[in-house]
Chains A and B, each alone.
Chain A
């Protein structure tokens, strides 16, 4: 999975999660359901966190695009000096994924990190992948 595919997958996960949550909440509101998931604070918090991260990703993309047009590269350089400007593109999608994992850990495993060891390990692994992609982006090395 390449870097573009990785970021695309993380964004699709965020959008999918938002769509599922919004559908469930809107379904309850439209039908005056006595049970609605928006009564749970952790769900609404995760939803607003994901929305915030998606907004942050849009801002980071815009800033990176603006900075991209201003970078210069000397003939002796192996990589463009401004490679670090892409670093923000990975943090927002990973943070959104962390919000989903945190919600899953809290609601499925009761918030105990001991029971949620699998999710904790997966979260750490995805963050590690993100960091390796940052390394690949900025220094042009291949961590695979």
Chain B
């Protein structure tokens, strides 16, 4: 069977699988982070709208940013896995979501 990228050598540990995949497919980590962000954001919005009829989008955007940040920080513990630019983008995106959240609040909310 022909592969389009080199097969990972896992004798160095299981995390080598992720690192070598990232080396072969640079968009691997950003797509994982995008997936986490999308699941939390869209899942939260849909769930809240189904239960209450109202979706607090800024709050879910902030929560999705924080959830993605936690995953990205865990990734930063492994060398050659996540790029520092992506980590900073996640941090900035979370802060930008916070701006949206706090400027969107009504007097009766946080």
A contacts, CB < 8 Å to B? 1-2, 5, 9-10, 12-13, 16-17, 20-21, 24, 27-28, 31, 33-37, 39-40, 43, 97, 100-101, 103-104, 107-108, 126
Contact = CB atoms under 8 A, between A and B. Distances in A.
A103 B79 CA distance: 25
A102 B80 CA distance: 28
Given A21-B91, A34-B76, 15 more contacts: A13-B103, A20-B66, A21-B95, A24-B87, A24-B91, A31-B77, A33-B73, A34-B77, A35-B79, A35-B84, A36-B84, A39-B84, A43-B91, A100-B95, A107-B92
Select the residue from B66, B80, B99, B107 with max chain A CB neighbours within 10 A: B99
| Those 9 A-B pairs whose CB atoms lie nearest each other, nearest first | A35-B76, A34-B79, A16-B98, A9-B102, A17-B95, A12-B102, A33-B76, A104-B92, A13-B102
Given A13-B99, A43-B91, A104-B95, A35 B105 contact: no
Given A27-B73, A104-B92, A9 B105 contact: yes
Interface in B82-104: 82-85, 87-89, 91-96, 98-99, 102-103
B57 interface: no
A87 to B, nearest CB: 21
Interface string B42-80: 000000000000000000000000100100010011111
A96 to B, nearest CB: 11
28 contacts: A1-B103, A5-B107, A9-B105, A13-B98, A13-B103, A16-B102, A24-B69, A27-B76, A33-B73, A33-B76, A33-B77, A34-B77, A35-B79, A35-B81, A35-B82, A35-B84, A36-B76, A36-B84, A37-B87, A40-B88, A100-B95, A101-B99, A104-B92, A104-B96, A107-B85, A107-B88, A107-B89, A126-B103
